[in-house]
Amino acid sequence: MFNAFSTGVLHCRLADLLLEWGRDEEVQRLIGEAIEPEMLAGVPYLLVDHHNVQARQLFLKQDYIKAQNALNQAAALARQALIWPGLAWQTEALQVRLWLQQEDLPLAAAWMSEHPADVNPADPSALLPFSSESREAARARVLLAQGASLEADHLLDRLARSAEAGGRMGSLVEITTLKAAALLSLDEADQALAALERALALGEPEGYRRTFLDEGRLIAPLLTRVAHAKRSPHRRYALQLLMALEGGDGSPRPVVPPPHPEADGPRLALVEPLSKRELEVLQLIAQGKTNPQIAKQLIVSPGTVKAHTTTIYRKLDVANRTEAVARARQLGLLR
């Protein structure tokens, strides 16, 4: 049992590291060959960890059905066994990210309403415990998706203080990257750039990659600024991340999906062209704006924006924002 447990822990942490470095094929081999769930059946904690790692890897393949199955298994185990709360919250946080990746904001919002913020009434600004860090980061993501960027920014400040006080620099990279996205949505471009520069400074020496790529849609404009800033010490790093976002660095799994397999090359025209308003919405989607932010900028209702988005997906023959931006770039529709 001890050998199975220690080996399983090692493999899960190695998979985390390889995922962060972007070595996705090695992760797939590790999960498929080196980790045997049957060996971990007597160790629910480790089996939950295994399912979480498996779900993260499936996210990258956009295999959302299998990812959901992995999370369902992890959640069921966490309910049945005495699992450390921090690990159970990691499963919940991954579930939230899956909902947001599929643009199912109502489910993510319902989750947030069912789990009150971890606030000490006697001291609302008190440091957060490590066990609730992943849950509160997930809450910040939902707030950003809802357009509640100021509330998200305040929560991320608290998370950053807690992570830094605990010496959790890996968490701080993610939190600071999210803070950059929050500040950008608040039109605090210079502060957002400073936050991203700090995240890059923390992440570059350790080869962080996936943390930034996962937020690519939100921080792409900031990465572009850093990549073009001649005096930035992180210029080359930002450029490498941008190339990965566009699939131009030979990475095994680019964040932006490739053309549909039935196409011999980029299509030069659409059967049904986008209207002027749909093109405006598409441009804002490419800038990482949420539906509420787009509605505010175009002075329309969020429902109208959702309707435009649905039509854009249909005309481009895609299923989500990432695919829409990728297809639009293939067709030369984005400035």
Question: pLDDT, tens digit, for every residue of 187-235?
Answer: 898 999 999 999 999 999 999 999 999 888 788 889 988 988 888 999 9
Residue among 4, 12, 23 at smallest CA distance from 207? 23
State residue 263's pLDDT score: 37
| Burial grade of 207 (CB within 10 A; 0-12, 13-18, 19 or more) | exposed
Angstrom distances, CA of residue 292 to CA of 96, 98, 142, 168, 295: 19, 20, 13, 33, 5
Q: Among positive and negative, which fits the CA dihedral 105, 106, 107, 108?
A: positive
CA dihedral 58, 63, 64, 68 (to 10 degrees): -50
State residue 27's pLDDT score: 80
Which regions of the chain are under pLDDT 70?
1-5, 32-42, 119-122, 124, 247-271, 335
* pLDDT one-digit tens code per residue, 6-34: 777 777 788 888 888 988 788 877 776 65
State residue 41's pLDDT score: 60
State residue 183's pLDDT score: 93
Contacts of 233 (CB under 8 A, 6+ apart): 201
The ranges of the chain annotated as CATH 1.10.10.10 are 276-330
Are 305 and 298 contacting, i.e. CB atoms less than 8 angstroms apart?
Answer: yes
Q: What is the DSSP letter of 284?
A: H
Using DSSP, state whether 251 is helix, strand or coil. Answer: coil
State residue 33's pLDDT score: 60
State residue 262's pLDDT score: 36
Q: Which CATH number fits domain 276-330: 1.10.10.10, 1.50.10.10, 3.30.365.10, 3.60.15.10?
A: 1.10.10.10
Angstrom distances, CA of residue 252 to CA of 35, 100, 248, 249: 21, 23, 11, 9
Give the C-alpha separation, 310 to 319, whole Å: 9
pTM for the model stands at 0.70
